[in-house]
A and B are shown apart, each in its own frame.
Chain A
Amino acid sequence: MNPPPDDAPTATPPAVELSGIWKRFPGVVANAGANLTVRTGTVHAVLGENGAGKSTLMNVLSGVYRPDEGEVRIDGVVHHFRSPSDALAAGVGMVHQEFRLVPSFTVAENVVLGAAERIVRRQAVESAVGELAERFGLATEPDRPVWQLSMGERQRVEILKALWRDARILILDEPTAVLTPGEADELGRILRHMADDDRTVVFISHKLHEVTGFCDEATVLRGGETVAASLPVSETDSSALAGLMVGSSPVISERPPPVVAGGPKLEVVGLGCLDDRGLQALHGVDLTVRAGEIVGIAGVAGNGQRELAQAIAGLRPTTAGTVHMDGMDLTAATPRQRFGAGLAYIPEDRMGVGLAPRLSVTDNAILRTYPTHRRGPFLDYEAAVAHCQDLVERFAVRTGPLDQPIAGLSGGNLQRLLVGRELSGRPRVVVAAQPTRGLDVQGVKAIQDLLVAERGAGVAILLISEDLDELLTLTDRLLVMHGGRVVAEFDPELAVRHEIGEAMVGHVPTSSASA
C-alpha cells in the first residue's frame, strides 16, 4: 500500500485531476460539480450507489463524454478529450464492464486490433503480447481464441489491450462484477502490481472488501457530487464508507398507511438458478411475501436480483428450490400458467420483453391475456380494443390512437401501460423489477401509487429496486441481496441507512436479523 506523503512537497502532479465536472443529459444531471484526484502509482476506488454518477465521471475521464463544465488534468496538463482515442493518446485507457472483444479472434489478435503493424506476423505478435502479459502478471495464452476464455481471462485481455497501447492510467468499471471471488482476488493482485510499476488504476466498485482489500484511496460520489475525496483506505472505517455512499439523511417521506398483512402468498424456498453466462446467480434464496405486504429487495445491480425476478416469473429455469403461490407449486409452471394463476410480473426490460415495440398499443395490451379474447380462430378485436381502452383510462396512459405502434410513447406511459396490463388480471402476487427506473417524477409517483393501491387490496408485492429511497418509503419489509443470497432483512421504519448500505456491499451487520 502506498500511504499518502505527509508533508512532502507535491512535486509530481496527480495522475488524474478532475475538478468541478458537470454533465447533464436530457432530464437528468449525472455529474454536479464532481471532483476526483488520483495520485500516480496508486489504486483508487470510486464508490457510490447506482445513479451517483460514477460511470459518467469515468466516461468523461476516458473521453467518451465531454463535460459541460469542469476541467480534466492528466499529469497536471489540461486536456480536452474529443474521443476515446484522444484519451488513449494521453495515456488513459478504459476497461468497460461489457467487453469489446471479438470472440473468434485469438487473445493476441484482440489485443493488437487497431494498434498493429501493417504486416501482422503472428509469431512475433503473440510473443510480444505474451511478454507484456508476463510483465504484469496477467497469465494468458496469446494464441487461444477468446470464446474459450472465462470471464476473468477475458478481462485480462481487455486490460492487456490498454497496456499494449501504453496506458499509464487504467480505468476499470466495476471489474469484479463478472468475476468469481477467486478471479477477483487475482485481479486485485494484478492491479497492485501495476501500481507498483508506477501506473495508476482507478476503479469503480461497490464491494467494500475489494476497496479495503487492494485500494490505497477511495472517493465517494453521491447524487452526482463528490462527498468524500481521496480517503486513505487504511485509515477509514468501512462503515463510514458505506454510510457516505448511501447518505445519512433521515428518511422523510410519507409511508403508506399500515395494512394488516394476511397469510403468505408467495413462498420461495432455496431457489437457485444460473445467469446468462452459466454461472450461479442465485445460491438458495428464501423469501416470503404475505398478502397486503410489499417486500423490497435492495442491492447493487448484478447480485442476482434480475435473475430472481425472472425465475419467479417463470422466464428463467431454476436449478434448485421451489416457488409456491397460495400453496400452489409453480416451480415448473410456464409464464403463462403463472400469470393465469395470479402471478403478475413487471420485467426490468420494459421494451423488448414486457412490450413489443413494433406492435400497436392494443396488441400490447392483450399480450398476456389474448387467449381469452379468442373467438374460434379469430381474435375479438372489439373486445381487445375495449379492454385496451379501459386499461388506458384506468391507468392514465397518454397515448395516440390505439392502433399505432407503441414506440412513440414516453417511458412513463409505457410503464403505465405495462403495469396496468399486469395488474388488470387481478393478480394475487406482483413481482416488480425496477418498475420506476427511468421515469420522471410524475411517472414514478403514478407507479408507486398503483403498487400501494394493490397492497391495500391485499395483493402480495415483491419490489426490486435500485432506488433505496423508494424502498424505504414503500416497503413493509426490506431484504438485501448480495452475491445471489438474501443477506439481511430490515424494518424500513427503523432502519439505519448506512447499515443497509453495508449489507449491500457485502458487509453484513451481525446485529441485524437475517431472512
Chain B
Amino acid sequence: MRRPVLARRDRVLRGGQPLAFGVGLVVALVVGVFLLVGSGHDPLRVYARMFDASLGDPQAWSVTLNRAVPLGLAGLAVAVAGSMGLWNIGAEGQIMAGAIGAAWVARIGGGWPGPVLVTAMLAAAVVGGGLLALGPAIARARIGVNEIITTLMLNEVAIRLVQWLVHGRWKDPDSHNFPLAPMLPDNGRLPTLFERAHVGVVLAGIVIALFGLAVSRTAWGYELRVAGSSGATARYAGISLKRKVLTVMVLSGGVAGFAGGVELSGNADRITEGLSNGFGFAGIIVAALALMRPSGVAAVALFFGAVQIGGQSIQTMGVSSSVSTILQALILFGAIAAGVLGRYRIQMVAGDTVERPSTGAES
C-alpha cells in the first residue's frame, strides 16, 4: 500500500519564499473574512480601512514605517544569529535592556545638546542589549548551553527590571497613584523625518542594509555563513566556532538593544514595561519569514507593520485589535506550510522503508 511522505526536493523552487508568503497572506485574508463576518462586520470595509490606515497616504505610511522600525531591527537581530544557526529568543528582553540603557543616559545627560544625547542614548542601548545577551552567549560558546532557553528566560528578567525601576528609583515623583517614569527630555528624542515618522526609520534602514552587506560581502559574514552551514566545514576552513558564537550572539543582542533605544527615543514618551510590546517575538517571526536573511527582513517588517497598524485602526470600527494579531499568526502559518512545500514534495512510497543504497562503506 502506497502512502505519501515528504521528500526533499532536488531543486528548491525559485521565488519560493515570496510565493509562500503570498499564499499565506491569501489564506489569512480568507480566514479573516470568516472571523469578521462572524462578529458582524463587513470584511471589505474592514480590509479597506486597514489598508487606508496603514498604506493609504503619507501620514499612514509614516505611522507604518515607525512600527516597522522595531519589528525590522528585532528581525535583523534574530536573523543575524539565525544565519549561524543560533536562536536568539531574547530579543524581547534585549529591547528592554536597550531601552534601560538609553533611558539611563537620558536621565544623566539632560543638559547635553540634542544630537550628542541621542547618540549617547543609542550607544548605551546597544551596550544594554549586548550585555543581556552576553550571558547566554558565553554559556553557549563555552559550555554548549542551549541558547533558546537562556535567552528566553532573560526576557522576563529584563521586563521585570524595567518594572522595578519604574516603580522604584526611576519613578516620576509627579505620578501619584500609577507609577510612571518621567517623560524623556526633548533633547533626548529622535527628530521627525516626515509626518509622524521619526529619524529612526532611516537609522534602521541603514543598520539593516549594513548588516545585509556585512553578511553577504565581508569575510566576517562569509565565516558566519560557513559556520551556519556546518561546524565540520567551518573547522576545515579554519574558522574558530567559539569566537564566532560569542560575537554573533552579543551582536544580535546589541541590535535588539538598539531597537529598544530607537523605539524609546523615537516613538515612546517614556520608558514603560510595555515598551517591547511583543516586538521581540514578532522579530523571530519576521526573521523566520525572511529565511534568516537580512535582505528580506526590511520587506517583511514593513508588511507586518502595515498589518499591525491596520489592525489597530479598525478598533474604532468596533473590531477587536486581536483580529490583526490573529491575521499575523495566520499569515505566518500559511507561509510556514507553503514554505515547507517549497522545499519538500509529496512522494508516494510503497512499504515501510524508502530504499536507498547505503552510502559510505557500501558492501
Indicate, yes or no, whether A interacts with B.
Answer: yes
Is the CB of A458 closer than 8 A to any CB of chain B?
no
Contact with A along B224-252 (1 / 0, CB 8 A): 01101110110111100000000000000
Instruction: Specify which chain A residues have a CB less than 8 angstroms from the CB of B358 in the assembled complex.
Output: 55
Instruction: Specify which chain A residues have a CB less than 8 angstroms from the CB of B356 in the assembled complex.
Output: 25
Nearest Cβ on chain B to A350's Cβ, whole angstroms: 10
Q: Give A contacts to B, CB under 8 Å.
A: 25, 28, 30, 48, 50-56, 64-66, 82-85, 173-174, 204, 301-302, 315, 334-336, 339, 347, 349, 352-359, 363, 366-368, 370-371, 373-374, 377-379, 381, 405, 408, 438, 466
Across the A-B interface, the 9 shortest Cβ-Cβ residue pairs: A336-B238, A83-B352, A55-B363, A356-B229, A54-B363, A301-B361, A25-B357, A356-B233, A353-B232
The closest CB in chain B to the CB of A206 belongs to B363
- Number of B residues near A (Cβ < 8 Å) is 33
Whether A378 and B219, one on each chain, are in contact in the complex, defined by CB atoms closer than 8 angstroms, is: yes
Is the CB of B353 closer than 8 A to any CB of chain A?
yes
Docked pose: A465 CA to B301 CA in angstroms: 52
Instruction: Specify which chain B residues have a CB less than 8 angstroms from the CB of A367 in the assembled complex.
Output: 226, 233, 236-237
Q: Could you list some 17 contacts between A and B, CB below 8 A?
A: A50-B363, A51-B363, A52-B363, A66-B355, A82-B351, A82-B352, A84-B353, A204-B363, A335-B236, A352-B232, A355-B233, A356-B233, A370-B219, A377-B219, A379-B217, A405-B12, A466-B361
**A-B Cβ contacts below 8 A, count:** 109
Nearest Cβ on chain A to B68's Cβ, whole angstroms: 28
Docked pose: A373 CA to B221 CA in angstroms: 13
Q: Decide yes or no: A359 and B229 within 8 Å by CB, A83-B353, A354-B236, A408-B10 being known contacts.
A: yes
Instruction: Specify which chain B residues have a CB less than 8 angstroms from the CB of A50 in the assembled complex.
Output: 361-363
The closest CB in chain A to the CB of B359 belongs to A438
Nearest Cβ on chain B to A172's Cβ, whole angstroms: 13
The closest CB in chain B to the CB of A300 belongs to B361
Whether A370 and B220, one on each chain, are in contact in the complex, defined by CB atoms closer than 8 angstroms, is: no
Nearest Cβ on chain B to A303's Cβ, whole angstroms: 11
Instruction: Specify which chain A residues have a CB less than 8 angstroms from the CB of B233 in the assembled complex.
Output: 352-356, 367
**Interface of B (DSSP majority class):** loop
Docked pose: A478 CA to B11 CA in angstroms: 41
Whether A66 and B351, one on each chain, are in contact in the complex, defined by CB atoms closer than 8 angstroms, is: yes
Instruction: Specify which chain B residues have a CB less than 8 angstroms from the CB of A84 in the assembled complex.
Output: 352-353
The closest CB in chain A to the CB of B232 belongs to A353
Is the CB of B218 closer than 8 A to any CB of chain A?
yes
The closest CB in chain A to the CB of B213 belongs to A378
Instruction: Specify which chain B residues have a CB less than 8 angstroms from the CB of A335 in the assembled complex.
Output: 235-238
Docked pose: A408 CA to B13 CA in angstroms: 12
Whether A377 and B220, one on each chain, are in contact in the complex, defined by CB atoms closer than 8 angstroms, is: yes
B222, B355, B361: which contacts A25 (Cβ < 8 A)?
B355
Docked pose: A371 CA to B222 CA in angstroms: 10
Instruction: Specify which chain B residues have a CB less than 8 angstroms from the CB of A408 in the assembled complex.
Output: 10-11
B12, B221, B228, B232: which contacts A349 (Cβ < 8 A)?
B232
Whether B230 and A352, one on each chain, are in contact in the complex, defined by CB atoms closer than 8 angstroms, is: yes
Whether B363 and A353, one on each chain, are in contact in the complex, defined by CB atoms closer than 8 angstroms, is: no
Nearest Cβ on chain A to B257's Cβ, whole angstroms: 23
Q: Decide yes or no: A357 and B217 within 8 Å by CB, A56-B363, A82-B352, A408-B11 being known contacts.
A: no
Q: Decide yes or no: A30 and B361 within 8 Å by CB, A349-B232, A359-B229, A367-B226 being known contacts.
A: no
Q: Decide yes or no: A55 and B351 within 8 Å by CB, A368-B237, A377-B218 being known contacts.
A: no
Whether B218 and A359, one on each chain, are in contact in the complex, defined by CB atoms closer than 8 angstroms, is: no
Whether B229 and A357, one on each chain, are in contact in the complex, defined by CB atoms closer than 8 angstroms, is: yes
Nearest Cβ on chain B to A80's Cβ, whole angstroms: 11
Whether A315 and B236, one on each chain, are in contact in the complex, defined by CB atoms closer than 8 angstroms, is: yes
Q: Decide yes or no: A378 and B352 within 8 Å by CB, A30-B357, A56-B363, A356-B233 being known contacts.
A: no
Docked pose: A315 CA to B217 CA in angstroms: 28
Within 8 A of A (CB), among B328-363: 351-353, 355-363
Nearest Cβ on chain B to A409's Cβ, whole angstroms: 10
